[in-house]
């Protein structure tokens, strides 16, 4: 079953969760899936743009995230989401400590696609190459997510021939 509303969560909502949000939006559009996607940060400020490297590595694949603005995680977003996908186990545990009733709706993104031991590391303050590695990891995870929803093999990365 395909969730209608997906919320990605990271720490600052400047790198990982916006990348995942825009990658999923792009892939869902290309696959003809109707899904709403948002992102938020456990410690985000309101209204900050993504890091320049986040914008740049997505733009390399033709995805424009320049209009994204950070938002802190709030109860309204948690209630809105059918599934909440974090980047790390610590973020997942943080959410479950906030509200144990989120159990069954909150997972790490890798865990949700069957890679429970993986996490998505934070590229903030690192090199552009580190951002590319995170983008590529997120693209793989998002493709696995969509493949799981539609029951098909994962498509090639956005930067590869499909």
Cα 97 to Cα 19, 93, 138: the distances in Å are 25, 6, 25
Token pair of 68, please? 């994204």
Annotated catalytic, 16? Answer: yes
Which residue in the list 16, 25, 135, 158 is annotated as catalytic? 16
Question: Which domains does the chain carry?
Answer: 5-148 (3.40.50.2300)
**86-117 per-position pLDDT tens digit:** 999 999 999 999 998 899 999 999 999 999 99
Helix (H) or strand (E) holding 111: helix 109-112
Higher per-residue pLDDT: 161 or 44:
44
**112-158 per-position pLDDT tens digit:** 999 999 999 999 999 999 999 999 999 999 999 999 988 854 444 44
Annotated catalytic, 82? Answer: no
DSSP designation for 155: P
126 SS3 class: coil
Picking from 155, 156, 150, 129, the residue whose alpha carbon sits closest to that of residue 57 is: 129
- 96: Cα separation from own chain's centroid: 18
Annotated catalytic, 15? Answer: no
Between CA 25 and CA 3 the distance in angstroms is 13
């Amino acid at each position: 079953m395909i969730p209608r509303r997906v919320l990605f969560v990271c720490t600052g909502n400047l790198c990982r969760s916006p990348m995942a949000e825009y990658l999923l939006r792009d892939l869902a559009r290309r696959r003809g899936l109707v899904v709403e996607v948002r992102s938020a940060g456990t410690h985000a400020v309101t209204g900050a743009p993504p890091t320049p490297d986040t914008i740049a590595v997505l733009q390399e694949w033709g995805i424009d995230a320049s209009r994204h603005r950070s938002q802190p995680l709030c109860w309204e977003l948690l209630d809105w989401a059918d599934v909440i996908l974090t980047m790390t186990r610590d973020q997942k545990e943080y959410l479950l400590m906030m509200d144990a009733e989120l159990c069954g709706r909150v997972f790490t993104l890798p865990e949700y696609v069957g890679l429970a031991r993986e996490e998505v590391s934070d590229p903030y303050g690192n090199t552009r190459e580190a951002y590319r590695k995170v983008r590529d990891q997120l693209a793989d995870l998002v493709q696995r997510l969509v493949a799981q929803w539609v029951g098909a093999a994962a498509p090639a990365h956005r930067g590869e021939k499909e």
